[in-house]
Amino acid sequence: MAEVGVEVEAEDGSSALSVTFDCLLEIFGYLDGHDLARVSRVCKNWHDAAQTPLLWKHLCLQRWLFCNLSNMTPGEQVWQEYYIHRHAVDTSMGRGAPKKDYRAKTLRGHKGQIKDAVYLSKKELCFDTATFHPILASCSEDKTVRAWDITEGSELWVGTEHKSAVTCLVLWEEESILCSGDQDGDIHMWDCSPGQNRGTFRGHDGGVTKMVMCKSGRYTALLAGTGQGDIKIWDLQNTTACLKTFPAISGMALDILSLRKDKTLAVASRDGGGMKLYDVERLLSSEGLTGDAEDCLVGELEHPSLQHTCCITWLPWKPNMAAIGYENGDIGVWDLKPASSGRTHGRKESPPVLLHTTSAHFGAVRGLSAVHNMLVSASAQDVHLKTWSLQNDGSLTEEKTYTDHQGPVTGIHVDHYKAVSCSDDFSIRVYQWRREGGRRVLDSKYTLLGGSLQRASGFQGVLSDYTSCVGIAGKELKAYTFTT
């Protein structure tokens, strides 16, 4: 900002530079946060104008696509406080200086391979305090579920109710309930904070492979996929009676269960059988629970050459579209709109349409995420992270390829603010989104190294909230917390 010449404050306390309050607001609307802080020191009138919540709200919404103030303490300066704290996190995450901008902790305690991990703390931004500590849960082949304070690197509680390897986790954030499924077919339900066991769901033949939760009608439902290709539906309030069991992909382990806004359930196995879509609201209705699940089937998505499905991401800016990654490295873009028009005896009049397939990677697509009108993809068979833009005809245009890892990319996390990738070369790479004209561009920033994890076989997965990220490496977790 150009230097502003201002006379000293008059004896009566008013500004010697006579500018109306409304004019000051108009002028200050062109300043960034740093410059607003500077002009607030000129005189009392300028200070009062620079503290106007509307200015800081405008700055927040101009800089960040989404701002959640639900965790902030109500008050006139809430937008200013939000901006200050979040700007500090962005600065730390963008710079990535060890010790100065982030702290690294190794979380040890599991005796077997870690199979899954989820954040228990709210994923929304908590910028009202610098003492916010993200909480993580992990499960392992050692038959335990563990909760961690990743900032301190301390273990909070251990669940030892399982009698076999724990394979997957799912969180119901509204009620702070964590569910963990194991190879014997049991699902245990935990209170997130004290780690108290609230009940057990049993009888999943072939073990529990994947779980999702949703709310529809009067049910808060847990949908569990099994190693035999079945789906069992439970009401969280009743652990004794299963609401419904039906075969989705018979004889194949269900590796993929994905929900779109509690309305559509995508089900697939990486062993084959294509992908099926179910109408969740109908499935959880009285008619759906007592009738044939096939009547709730709204589409089947099959690759033209019958390639196995590896992953799916819903396109938030295209509510009736999804992108699917396949075993041969293809990404297929599907139009689900024909499947949302008209219904005949529970089935859709027209099946989903495969708009376009793109040869994206040399091997199976293991990571696929959509944000900012962009797709981000990765394969465990190559070292590339790629960004794609979606064209009107459903084709994908490659925007940029990143080769920051020396080994194959084994996992990615993408949100509105950043992307994080991990590799079996013991590294985690951080990227940040920035505006360039009317589009978003992903900038490669820096690498977080695995440090003391040399006994592991690199990172197998990565997850992140808005102030931290965690890599899964064998029996250990490597946690990085960014300073505020």
In a domain, 58, yes or no: yes
**Element (DSSP H or E) covering residue 35:** helix 33-39
Nearest-angstrom CA–CA distance, 336 and 338:
6
Taking only the tens place, the pLDDT of each residue in 224-260 is: 999 999 999 999 999 899 999 999 998 999 999 999 9
**Segments forming the whole domain that contains residue 50:** 21-93
User: How does residue 107 score in pLDDT terms, banded at 50, 70 and 90?
Assistant: very high
**What pLDDT was estimated at residue 130?**
53
Taking only the tens place, the pLDDT of each residue in 64-94 is: 766 666 555 555 568 888 888 878 877 887 7
282 CB burial (10 A radius; 0-12, 13-18, 19+): buried
Give the residue among 456, 411, 413 at the shortest CA–CA distance from 110.
Answer: 456
User: How does residue 129 score in pLDDT terms, banded at 50, 70 and 90?
Assistant: very low
Taking only the tens place, the pLDDT of each residue in 277-329 is: 999 999 999 999 999 999 999 999 999 999 999 999 999 888 889 999 999 99
Q: How many domains does the chain have?
A: 1
Task: Give, in degrees to the nearest 5, the angle at Cα 338 between 334 and 339.
Answer: 85
On whether the CB atoms of residues 104 and 448 are closer than 8 A, the answer is yes
User: How does residue 218 score in pLDDT terms, banded at 50, 70 and 90?
Assistant: confident
Bridge partners of 199?
A: 189
Q: DSSP string covering 333-383, please?
A: EEE-GGGGS-EETTEESS--EEEEEEE--SS-EEEEEEETTEEEEEETTSS
The whole model's pTM is what? 0.85
In a domain, 71, yes or no: yes
- % residues pLDDT > 70 (the chain): 87
In a domain, 418, yes or no: no
In a domain, 81, yes or no: yes
In a domain, 209, yes or no: no
In a domain, 51, yes or no: yes
CATH of the domain at 67: 1.20.1280.50
Nearest-angstrom CA–CA distance, 213 and 203:
18
**What pLDDT was estimated at residue 225?**
97
In a domain, 317, yes or no: no
Give the residue among 151, 202, 123 at the shortest CA–CA distance from 415.
Answer: 123
In a domain, 250, yes or no: no
**What pLDDT was estimated at residue 398?**
95
Range with lowest mean pLDDT among 109-113, 221-225, 341-345: 341-345
Asked whether the predicted pLDDT for residue 127 surpasses 60, the reply is no
Q: Which residue has the higher pLDDT, 452 or 188?
A: 188
